[in-house]
Structure 1
Amino acid sequence: MKTKLLSLAILTALSAPAFSHEAGDFIVRVGAATVAPNESSGQVATFGEFAVDDNTQLGLNFTYMVTNNFGVELLAATPFSHEVTLPEAGVNDLAKLKHLPPTLMAQYYFGSGNLRPYIGAGVNMTVFFDEKFTNDLDGALSDLDVDTSFGLAGQVGIDYKFNDNWLVNASVWYIDIGTDVNFNLGEDRVSIKTDIDPWVYMLSVGYTF
């Protein structure tokens, strides 16, 4: 009797439906996305280098499965907001800025079935706005402007589908963001090359159409 029950359990597990991405599927994922900058910059006069803090926002991505294994994804989010500091000078509230980093990825999904790890590579455009100094260092700094960035991006992730439509996802991006930070230092206009190069971490739920 025990042998029959064990055999029945194995057959039931083997016959359980496998929910997999297929060509023509459109996937929407929504979750928390954290941008964690890995920044470096030129020297800001005698004040040292810029530092940029982490920020978490609502992340969105949209994937179209071209084949069962190849997909195209667009990453979007609500605007990320960062504080800029000068740690070497002890300035913890130098500036604030916002940005949007739309990223277009080509993806390859491994295997088949419910669990689908994937990798991706693509291009990023990061648009900065609402830049402002919150500490002008006694009038030394003014007129902050940060240029739009264009760069490459890489990605790893994994989907787990628990029925035909719904899934959970975890993914990580590395994005090449390099920009010029422009401002007035006294009477001089200066431009500081700055690499932000963040890791982006996202946990999300998704729906397949």
Structure 2
Amino acid sequence: MMNKTIVSGVIAAALLSAGFASSVSAHQAGDIIVRAGVAVVAPNESSPVVADIAEFGVDDNTQIGLNFGYMLTDNIGIELLAATPFSHDISLGELGKIAETKHLPPTLVAQYYFGSADSKVRPYIGAGVNFTNFFDNEFTNDLDGALTDLSLGNSWGLAAQVGLDYQINKNWLVNASVWYAQITTDVEFKLAGDAVKVETDIDPWVYMVSVGYTF
């Protein structure tokens, strides 16, 4: 419910504020925009049933989010999303938490900003590609040694975003954005010595609130 509320709020603000202008000039061709804030990754995971028990579950995590944008024109930009490593608990039905993993999800998108260069409020949309690198994978409950050798494969997938910048003055702005990324990983491990591979979709929503600076 909270995730849907955040998405709806950002989209509604973007639609209502399109074309709202003021004397503050921002988002011009050649501008570099750096934003830093809080990013929440909320997985929308699914997998086959594992060991006749349940599907994998993956919890949410919050980290410091960073993104770096460059305006190719007054309305078209490119942006790279980065963050400190996200850490997730992996659960399996009634067994609860059985493992944990970390990942870095750099995402590159092309963006279209609505409004003009002198608009104080700039809603935007974007689409691009995500690369996710999983590391530090380990079992926290190995079922008395039955589970060993955990690994998660890296992932390439499509990504999309919607966001809103509010320009405070010539250089400073505040931002809210929502991202969606296709992340599919092969979870590999050994169960009682037998090799197992489980293709798992993570497909998270990413919510970010940040402060930005325009150069």
TM-score, normalised via structure 1 length = 0.90
* 1:36 is aligned to 2:48: no
- Corresponding letter in the other structure for 1:65: M
CA contact (8 A) 1:36 1:200 kept: yes
Shift of 1:17: 2.0
Partners of 2:31 and 2:90 lie apart in 1 by 41
Q: Are 1:170 and 2:176 matched, yes or no?
A: yes
- Secondary structure at the residue paired with 2:96? strand
SS in 1 for 2:143: coil
Q: Deviations over 1:37-70 (max 9, x none)?
A: 0000112111211000000000000000000000
Instruction: Return the match for 1:91 from 89, 95, 98.
Output: 95
Q: 1:101 aligns with which of 98, 101, 105?
A: 105
For residues 86-128 of structure 1, the C-alpha deviation after alignment (integer angstroms, 9 at most, x for no partner) is 12xx122200100000000000000021100000000000000
Q: Which residue of 2 aligns with 1:9?
A: none
Q: Give the aligned length.
A: 193
Equivalent residues in 2 for 1:7-18, closer than 5 Å: 17-18=23-24
Counterpart amino acid of 1:200? V
* CA RMSD after TM alignment: 1.1
The structure with more radius of gyration:
1
Does the residue aligned with 1:197 lie in a helix, a strand or coil? coil
Contact 1:19–1:162 (CA<8 Å) still a contact in 2?
no
| Unmatched tracts of structure 1, length 5 or more | 1-14
1:1-209, aligned counterparts within 5 Å?
17-87=23-93, 90-112=94-116, 113-209=119-215
Moved over 3 A (4+): none
Q: State the alpha-carbon separation in 1 of the partners of residues 158 and 91 from structure 2.
A: 26
Equivalent-residue separation in structure 2 for 1:52 and 1:140 (angstroms): 21
Cα pair 2:22 2:120 within 8 Å, conserved: no
1:16 deviates by 5.9
Deviation at 1:140, TM superposition (A): 1.4
- Rounded to whole Å, the distance in 2 between the matches of 1:93 and 1:152 is 29
Q: Which has the higher contact order (CA 8 A, sep 6+)?
A: 2
Letter in 1 for 2:100: K
Residue type of the alignment partner of 1:186: A
**3-state DSSP class of the match of 2:158?**
strand
How far apart are the structure 2 equivalents of 1:118 and 1:107? 7
TM-score scaled by structure 2? 0.88
Following superposition, the deviation at residue 147 of structure 1 comes to: 0.1
